[in-house]
Amino acid sequence: MHEEGDFVQKLWIHCCSAGRLVGSAFGHLPMGLLVNMICIFVIVALSGIVVNGALILIDYINFRVGTVRF
């Protein structure tokens, strides 16, 4: 059970991380913006925020389910 749960949790984090790339691409394309160095810095910063949010969500779900892992 724990190995399967760990896999699903890691998969959730990777899906959220990939979602930020798709979201930033769909944000730049319609407005006709070019991807420059500042945009890359913002996308990297956004990656940290998205992964942190996913970790907090997984921690909350584990707490509610009762399978807290350290």
Full domain range(s) for residue 52: 36-70
- The number of distinct structural domains making up the chain is 1
pLDDT of residue 5: 65
Task: Tell whether the torsion through CA atoms of 5, 10, 16 and 21 is positive or negative.
Answer: negative
Residue 12 lies in a domain: no
CA–CA distance, 52 with 68 (Å, rounded to integer)? 17
Residue 61 lies in a domain: yes
> Does the predicted TM-score (pTM) go above 0.75?
no
Residue 50 lies in a domain: yes
3-57 per-position pLDDT tens digit: 566 787 888 788 877 777 788 888 888 888 888 898 889 888 888 888 888 888 8
Residue 60 lies in a domain: yes
Residue 65 lies in a domain: yes
With beta carbons less than 8 A apart as the criterion, state whether 21 and 29 touch: no
Residue 62 lies in a domain: yes
